[in-house]
Amino acid sequence: MNQTEPIPNSSEREAQALRDLENSWQTPRGMIGWLSCTTHQAIGMRYIVTAFIFLLAGGIEALLIRLQLALPNNTLLGPDRYNEIFTTHGTTMMFLFAVPMMEGMAVYLVPLMLGTRNVAFPRLNAFGYWIYLAGAIFLYWGVFTNTAPDAGWFSYPPLSGPAYSPGKRVDFWAQMITFTEVSAMCVASELIATIFKMRAPGMSLNRIPLYCWSMLVQSFMVIFAMPAVMIASSYLLSDRTVGTHFVNPAEGGDPLLYQHVFWLFGHPEVYIIFIPALGFVSSIVTANSRREIFGYPGMVLSIVATGFIAFGLWVHHMFATGLPQIGEAYFTAASMMIAVTSGVQIFCWIATLWTGRLRMTAALHFVFGFIAIFVLGGLTGVILASVSLDVQVHDTFFVVAHFHYVLIGGALFPLFGAFYHWFPKITGRLMNEAVGKLNFWILFIGFNLTFFPMHILGLKGMTRRIYTYGSEMGWELGNILATIGAFIIAAGGVVFLINIFLSRNRGEIAGDNPWDADSFEWAAASPPKSYNFEYLPVATSRYPLWVAASERTFVTGLRNDRREVLVTTLMDAEPHHRLVLPRSSLWPLLTALAVTIGFIGSVFNAWYITYGSILTGLAFVGWFWPRLPVETKP
Amino acid sequence: MKRDFILWIALLGGPIVWLISFETNFALAPWACIFQTKLALHVISIVALVLAAVSGLLAWQEWKGLSGEKEDRPGGSLPRSRSMALGGVLMSAMFFLVILAQSIPAIVLSACE
Ligand code: HEM
Ligand SMILES: [Cu+2]
């Protein structure tokens, strides 16, 4: 393995190498091939497309909510249906759209950015996707059979307990959680291994692209936060199905325990969605201000610090439960301190933009929108962090406004920016920039029109989760504005879809690096080949593609006739050994099916846990069956 | 190797100390009322502040040591070590502040509010 040899240019050897690479990385054709695929681009795309469909589903539910609330004493949705719809909206958006979307973008982008060929555990990656899909289908099976969850997206007991939520609605919710969390844990563990051990040689810790740093921190947060919600939902599920007494007060259980465990996950969850978005912003800002990011070390530190502090905030969701004041005050303090770390990042981006040579792309528009909205959302957040104010507006539309400012401003706007930024990499064609900017302005105006009035509605006392209100309350103006805004947002979504479909077929050909960006994904072809790079690149700088082409170096000596990648050391990314990754395999799908049988069955009959475990064990035997490491033929 | 270990401590010491002290304090807050004393809360805050300061000093020392060193070969680990050491200083400072902010409630609030 020699990492400084120039690319050999004997064209015959070259052609043979390409054929070998092509062979060893290609996914077999046909249905079976599709189901057994383990390449990160394909699986990342599946996550992205599936999660996008659920964004649309959640969006339709949001429109129904807004239609119902548009006028006082409206009867479009009855109270029961309304409960189902807002719960399904919140659940879909958080668990089926936001987290999987961020995971999918990372599955697609991280290996490219690190200069490698796949994630560290390709079959686990496939398994994670199937499990997510199963959980999503499961929830929507409930939605279409009058079994949509209806106890709010955090399903507090006792409301969600057996006494007040008979039937299977809450069980569907609780088990869907298990599915999506397993899936998120799969992605998190493979991303950590990939970022730690499969970086391009030379990409020492202080050269990792900020997006990969943010995914690293996010993945650790997933690993620490997701087990908490699985425990919470399992408490709930076993209280409901086999009569345990964890969180059911009627049986001496402790509902506050549920709240603690849920929010121990729930607050970090917000950052699990938001930190990847910060990574998008850093990439877009760097590429479009055409200069190195200002304060890289400060950025990294504040991402890491955010990752920690996010675990010290959960009780601010429980200020209204009457905990000891000293205890609550710790959380006020931490909630205020986290504003410092966000402030550092905002400052660094602004400094970069200020001193750079700006190119006002559509993606950058979304970044500016993000900064504006996020600052406002952060301000209302600091307001809510103070116990006295929070108790005043708790469970009102002020809170609904706040978290949509954070979630949509903080995650959806950067995400759309990311779509515009990386679409040319994924499809090989540019999206239409003019339509993109129009898209931005429609979304930005619609967003503020929808959610700004909700602050005022909240202060005027409109509580969340009510299906209607009387005309004497004086809430009409705010509500009708919010509904009009929601339809403007929907129009923005339609513009985006049109742009996607038109650009996909007719967009301008992008080339490898349309934005002259700095990181490795732009060195791959657009769309990337299944093996990403013919020769794995070496990172000679923090901005490897801004190094003069003559000074760039490549890894040679990897075998092309099997799926080989280079493993490097954790701190300094020195070449360590070669690793052969598995090829396509059906076992991830079969294992996911076995797990699904166990999970879904156990909602109806606890014995299915046993059946599911046995089936899963059998599937694991197939999965881990020893195979020869050298796979010369596809 | 030993240096790398110290650098990790320097970098992650502050946040870990903070996490532990804060969780313990939160768990002990109801007991402060039962026993009518906030002593335990104060002690934990002080110990945590000292530990965060120690990790900051450790980082500072490493950083000073590293700035005197010369790169032995191109692509070596010196720049990375320097950023980690400097990062350790900043992280410890940040979490020193967080711990400090969290030691205020026990001072100004009475044990049973
Ligand atoms: C497309 C624009 C959106 C609109 C118009 C919208 C509207 C609303 C409204 C009006 C509510 C309150 C329902 C009530 O309390 O009665 C709500 C709840 C909620 N929304 Fe959205 N939303 C949108 C997008 C999103 C997104 C993108 C996310 C997350 C990524 C999200 C997450 C939530 C959550 C978690 C709840 C709480 C559900 C509950 O109370 O259990 N929303 N939304
Ligand atoms: Cu929170």
Q: Decide if B94 touches A, using CB distance below 8 A.
A: yes
| A142/A254 same-domain check | yes
Range of the domain at A603: 585-627
Q: Which of A313-322, A376-385, A540-549, B72-81 has the highest mean pLDDT?
A: A540-549
Return the minimum-mean-pLDDT range out of A41-55, A387-401, A561-575.
Answer: A387-401
Task: Say yes or no to pLDDT of A310 above 80.
Answer: yes
Q: Residue B57 falls within a domain, yes or no?
A: yes
How far is it, in rounded angstroms, from Cα A277 to Cα A273? 7
Which residue ranges of chain B lie beneath pLDDT 70?
1, 72-75
| A593/A528 same-domain check | no
Q: What is the ipTM of this complex?
A: 0.94
Give the count of domains, chain B. Answer: 1
**Which ligand 1 atom sits closest to the C-alpha of A87?**
41
Q: Residue B113 falls within a domain, yes or no?
A: no
Taking only the tens place, the pLDDT of each residue in A192-213 is 999 999 999 999 999 999 999 9
How far is it, in rounded angstroms, from Cα A414 to Cα A275? 11
Taking only the tens place, the pLDDT of each residue in A278-287 is 999 999 999 9
Whole-number pLDDT of residue A6:
53
| A308/A389 same-domain check | yes
Task: Say yes or no to pLDDT of A266 above 90.
Answer: yes
- Tell me the one-letter amino acid at B50: V
Q: Residue B103 falls within a domain, yes or no?
A: yes
Cβ contact, residue pair A571, B83, below 8 Å: no
Q: What percent of chain A has pLDDT over 90?
A: 80
Task: Say yes or no to pLDDT of A630 above 60.
Answer: no
Q: Mapping DSSP to helix (H, G, I), strand (E, B) and coil, where does residue A229 land?
A: helix
Give the count of domains, chain A. Answer: 2
| A572/A592 same-domain check | no
B98, containing H or E segment: helix B78-108
Q: Which two tokens stand for residue A578?
A: 């070669």
Nearest-CA residue of chain B relative to A202? B75
Nearest-CA residue of chain B relative to A205? B80
HSE-up (13 A, CA, CB side) for residue B27: 7
| A151/A226 same-domain check | yes
Whole-number pLDDT of residue B1:
62
Whole-number pLDDT of residue A328:
87
Residue A7's pLDDT band, with cuts at 50, 70 and 90, is low
Taking only the tens place, the pLDDT of each residue in A203-262 is 999 999 999 999 999 999 999 999 999 999 999 999 998 889 999 888 889 999 999 999
Q: Mapping DSSP to helix (H, G, I), strand (E, B) and coil, where does residue A59 land?
A: helix
Average pLDDT, chain A: 92
Whole-number pLDDT of residue B33:
84
Query: Which residue did the predictor score with more confidence, A632 or A557?
Result: A557
* Range list of H helices, chain B: 2-35, 39-68, 78-108
Q: Looking at CA atoms only, how far is residue A220 from chain B in angstroms? A: 14
A568, containing H or E segment: strand A564-568
* CATH code at position A190: 1.20.210.10
Is there a contact between A338 and B48 (Cβ–Cβ < 8 Å)? no
Chain A residues whose CB is inside 8 A of the B102 CB are 329-330, 333-334
Q: Which residues surround ligand 2, an ion (CB under 5 A)?
A: A 267
Burial class (CB in 10 A: 0-12, 13-18, 19+), A483: buried
Question: Which residue is listed with tokens 């002259």?
Answer: A516
Q: Residue B88 falls within a domain, yes or no?
A: yes
| A593/A575 same-domain check | no
Out of A297, A311, A333, name the one closest to residue B19 (CB).
A311
Q: What is the mean pLDDT of residues A422-440?
A: 96
Out of B80, B106, B112, name the one closest to residue A205 (CB).
B80
How far is it, in rounded angstroms, from Cα A28 to Cα A25? 9
Give the ligand at the shortest distance from the Cα of A273. Answer: 1
Report which protein residue has its CA nearest ligand 1's atom 37: A90
| A336/A458 same-domain check | yes
Whole-number pLDDT of residue B74:
66
Whole-number pLDDT of residue A382:
74
Taking only the tens place, the pLDDT of each residue in A594-625 is 999 999 999 998 899 999 999 999 999 999 98
Residue to substitute from A330, A386, A541, interface B, most B β-carbons within 10 A: A330
| A589/A526 same-domain check | no
Residue A1's pLDDT band, with cuts at 50, 70 and 90, is very low
Residue to substitute from A216, A326, A341, interface B, most B β-carbons within 10 A: A326
**Which ligand 1 atom sits closest to the C-alpha of A82?**
16
Whole-number pLDDT of residue A631:
55
Is there a contact between A239 and A245 (Cβ–Cβ < 8 Å)? yes
Whole-number pLDDT of residue A634:
42
Residue A401's pLDDT band, with cuts at 50, 70 and 90, is very high
Rg of chain B, C-alpha, whole Å = 18
**Which ligand 1 atom sits closest to the C-alpha of A412?**
27
- DSSP 8-state class, residue A412: I
Return the minimum-mean-pLDDT range out of A24-33, A189-198, A385-394, B39-48.
Answer: A385-394
Whole-number pLDDT of residue A38:
95
Q: What is the mean pLDDT of residues A362-385?
A: 86
Q: Residue A108 falls within a domain, yes or no?
A: yes
Q: What is the mean pLDDT of residues A483-502?
A: 97
Whole-number pLDDT of residue A380:
77
Is there a contact between A199 and A575 (Cβ–Cβ < 8 Å)? no
Q: What share of chain A is helix, strand, coil (3-state, %, to 5)?
A: 70, 5, 30
Whole-number pLDDT of residue A487:
98
Residue A181's pLDDT band, with cuts at 50, 70 and 90, is very high
Task: Say yes or no to pLDDT of A629 above 80.
Answer: no
Residue A93, ligand 1, Cβ within 6 A: yes
| A589/A568 same-domain check | no
How far is it, in rounded angstroms, from Cα A235 to Cα A264? 15
Distance of CA A552 to the CA centre of its chain: 33
Residue A153, ligand 1, Cβ within 6 A: yes
| A560/A601 same-domain check | no
Q: Looking at CA atoms only, how far is residue B31 from chain A in angstroms? A: 10
Q: What is the mean pLDDT of residues A360-376?
A: 92
| A91/A215 same-domain check | yes
| A447/A301 same-domain check | yes
Whole-number pLDDT of residue A2:
45
Task: Say yes or no to pLDDT of A591 above 90.
Answer: yes
Phi, psi dihedrals of residue A600, rounded to the nearest 5°: -70, -45
- DSSP 8-state class, residue A163: T
Report which protein residue has its CA nearest ligand 1's atom 22: A62
Q: What is the mean pLDDT of residues A176-191?
A: 96
Give the ligand at the shortest distance from the Cα of A90. Answer: 1
Range of the domain at B81: 2-68+75-108
Taking only the tens place, the pLDDT of each residue in A505-533 is 999 999 999 999 999 999 999 999 999 99
